[in-house]
Amino acid sequence: MSFLPSCRDVSRHLSEALDSGRPLGMHVRLHLTLCEACRRVLAQFALIRHGASRAPDAGPSLPAEAKERLRRALGGG
Amino acid sequence: MTSDPSGWVDAYGDRLFRYALSRVRDEGAAEDLVQETLLAAFESRDRFKGESSELTWMTGILRNKLFELYRRQAREVPLLPSDEDADPQSEFFDARHWKADSAPRDWGGEPARSAESAEFAAALRRCLDALSAGVARAFVLREMEGFEPDAAAETLGVSRGHLAVLLYRARLRLRRCLEKSHFAPEAAG
């Protein structure tokens, strides 16, 4: 399948398509029908975007000393 | 009219801190952003109309502080195309195909649900920390903040073509890091 773009080129096209919004070219689409690894990359780039766009609802807390400093600054301590 | 500012730290401090920490590289910078945000909210509290929640209002202030920080960093240390780490070509690919240890694996199960978990958020933060600063900031603006490419490029002080390179590197490296640390750690060997 040497007439088709390489996995390297396809992965770059997939990344650029996420930003341009333009449809994928015929050769890239044909490559995807034949290459499971690049199909996974397409899905996984989109999945990472989905997860990354959500605000974190768990994780570290503001350190206690910073809270105390801010409470004083805001007139509560 | 806002609630009593003396209660803001307890009501919003942790959530603002997590938001900031997911977008900057160290706790000190995240603390500074939260402090600047709460003090700016305090100064402008008379102008709060209550059209959104206080948390949404403060998150908007925090985002503007974050973008100001990125612009300042871009002015102080301009991103040059040669600054980022090695070209992904040899890191991920041989002549045409994925290298065996870089080929994307099946993430199995319910990856969409997994991408919404607190564990994903923690893994993403660790993986972002491993990127060079410019690559990480490009990803934050485009994928986490939803900036249009032209606006992200302007904020970072780079061309649209350079932004595309930064985003490509970010996506390839984050994909592999998240696969190894979160989505398919058992396959990492």
Instruction: Give me the residue spans of the domains in chain B.
Output: 5-76, 88-188
| A16 at interface of B, judged by CB pairs closer than 8 A | yes
Q: Which two tokens stand for residue A60?
A: 């570290």
B residues 60-119 near A, CB within 8 Å?
Answer: 89, 92-93, 95-98, 103-107, 111-112, 115-116, 118
More confident position, A25 or B81: A25
Pick the closest to residue B158 from B82, B87, B79, B85 (CA basis). B79
CATH architecture of the domain B88-188 equals Orthogonal Bundle (1.10)
What digits encode the pLDDT tens for the residues B139-187? 999 999 999 999 999 999 999 999 999 999 999 999 999 999 999 887 6
Q: What is the value of pTM for the model shown?
A: 0.91
> Does the distance separating the beta carbons of B9 and A70 come in below 8 Å?
yes
**Is residue A1 over pLDDT 60?**
no
ipTM confidence score: 0.90
Q: Which two tokens stand for residue A23?
A: 């449809």
What digits encode the pLDDT tens for the residues B117-139? 989 999 999 999 999 999 999 99
User: Tell me, what's the pLDDT at B188?
Assistant: 59
Q: Which amino acid is at B54?
A: E
Mean pLDDT of B5-17: 95
Mean pLDDT score of chain A: 91
A residues 31-50 near B, CB within 8 Å?
Answer: 37-38, 40-41, 44-45, 47-50
Fold of B5-76: Rna Polymerase Sigma Factor; Chain: A (1.10.1740)
From the CA of A68, how many Å to the nearest CA of chain B? 9
Torsion angle of the four alpha carbons A1, A4, B167, B87, in this order, in degrees rounded to the nearest 10: 60
Q: Residue A62 region, left (φ>0) first, then alpha (ψ -120 to 50), else beta? A: beta
